[in-house]
Amino acid sequence: MSSKQRGAVGLALVIGIALFLWGLGGRPALADTCTLRILGWEGYMDRSFVQPFEQETGCKVIATYAGSSDEMYAKIRAGKGKTYDLVTASGDLTKRLYDSGLVEPLNLSRVPHVQDLFPLFDKPPYNTFAGRPYGVSIAWGPDFLIYDTTAFEQTPTSWKVLYQPELRGKVSLPDYPIFTADIALWQGTPDIYDLDDAALQGPIRDHLFPLRPQVRKFWSSQGELAQLFLNKEITAAWGWPVTLEELKRADFPVGATIPQEGTTGWSDSWMLIKGSKQADTAYRWMNYMLTGPAQKQMTEVTGYWPVSQQILPLLSAAQRRDWHLDDLQDYYSNIHFWETVPNYDEWVALWNDFRGQ
């Protein structure tokens, strides 16, 4: 056999082995060069739906969880496009990222499943700026009053229950200045995200600071909040559906309600970090997460509300009712969703005073 023939055989052998490995699922080897780095809230990158994406694309997903929008903002600014590719931004963060030039406008033709979004989540104001889309909706939900049912004879009807003397040292709140808006809501303030310094240092301060003796611990993650309940350190908290799901799985006697004053909430979006080298993979991920199976797995893990109509055939009538998908517009319109606060530094200063008591 000539050297040329041997070379041809060798090349064919290499190609054959490569194709064989690809067919056996060798695609994940691409993860070395195809790695999607996502910064976000707990539950949005759970392995139950990350793994099918990795198997399908051969791309690895690396999740970094954060406890607040403030933490995400700081990490993204520090990374300068080199640390993360996507972020799960809530409405109090989306415009901050846009204003700071930290995110890219999106080409929605590369996310064909956006056509299946419920109309509420198609180019909503919290991720659309200067007429251009900067985000793709993920999920949404309300902020709940979560409580240990063994500590309450009946479901609490007002957020004022958190001030009761018997709950001193038995409450947990988020370590997050956006909670200030909830205090404004409880007081009947018309625009809870537009609070000037007079309001912050007057009625808001007067109603926020009496909560400090009630707080056992400020939570920074939903896993931490669930553990506080499981350890019987607290009996009530301001928290999210993902905590409910974790406590239910642990057979903890948990209840959740939206009291008569109403509640705040969040609508979250995938946003592409400026400078990301993995835009192609990010678009594939955003599209994948709008499929019915991925949306269903995400809601089952987190308890968060879905945004894609592809989920509807996969749900029972009871599930659609529980997620208010049959009266979506009415339910959604009654929640005071987070917004970017114009004088946020003043909110942070007040919060630091509150925590430091």
Mean pLDDT of 208-215: 98
- Give me the half-sphere count of Cα atoms (radius 13 Å) on the Cβ side of residue 215: 18
What gap in Å lies between CA 303 and CA 186, rounded to an integer? 25
- pLDDT on residue 32: 52
pLDDT score of 137: 97
Cβ neighbours around 223 below 10 Å, total: 15
Amino acid making up residue 130: A
**pLDDT, position 79:** 87
Select from 155, 103, 109 the least CA-distant residue to 129.
103
Three state DSSP letters for the chain? CCHHHHHHHHHHHHHHHHHHHHHHHHHHHHHHCCEEEEEECCCCCCHHHHHHHHHHHCCEEEEEECCCHHHHHHHHHHHCCCCCCEEEECCCCHHHHHHCCCECCCCHHHCHHHHHECHHHCCCCCCEECCEECCEEEEEEECEEEEEHHHCCCCCCCHHHHHCHHHCCCEEEECCHHHHHHHHHHCCCCCCCCCCHHHHHHHHHHHHHHHHHHEEEEECCHHHHHHHHHCCCCCEEEECHHHHHHHHHCCCCEEEECCCCCEEEEEEEEEEECCCCCHHHHHHHHHHCCCHHHHHHHHHHHCCECCEHHHHHHCCHHHHHHCCCCCHHHHHHCEEECCCCCCHHHHHHHHHHHHCC
Nearest partner of 316 among 333, 334, 296, 302, judged by Cα: 296
pLDDT higher than 70, residue 29: no
Q: What is the pLDDT of residue 81?
A: 78
Is the pLDDT score of 11 beyond 50?
no
Answer positive or negative: Cα dihedral of 271, 127, 75, 354: negative
Is the pLDDT reported for residue 14 higher than 50?
A: no
Question: Domains (ranges, CATH) in the chain?
Answer: 9-141+267-321 (3.40.190.10), 143-265+340-355 (3.40.190.10)
Q: Is 174 left (phi over 0), alpha (psi -120 to 50) or beta?
A: beta
Q: The tokens 């909830």 sit on which residue? A: 182
| Pairwise CA distance, residues 219 & 172, whole Å | 7
- Lowest-confidence segment of 72-81, 110-119, 179-188, 233-242 by average pLDDT: 72-81
Give the strand pairing for 132-133 and 128-129: antiparallel
Q: What is the pLDDT of residues 301-317, one digit of tens each?
A: 999 999 999 999 999 99
Mean pLDDT to the nearest integer, 1-6: 42
* 266 pLDDT higher than 50: yes
172, 218 contact by CB (below 8 A): yes
Residue-averaged pLDDT of the chain: 91
Give every CB contact of residue 102 below 8 A, 6+ residues apart in sequence.
76, 77, 81, 273, 274
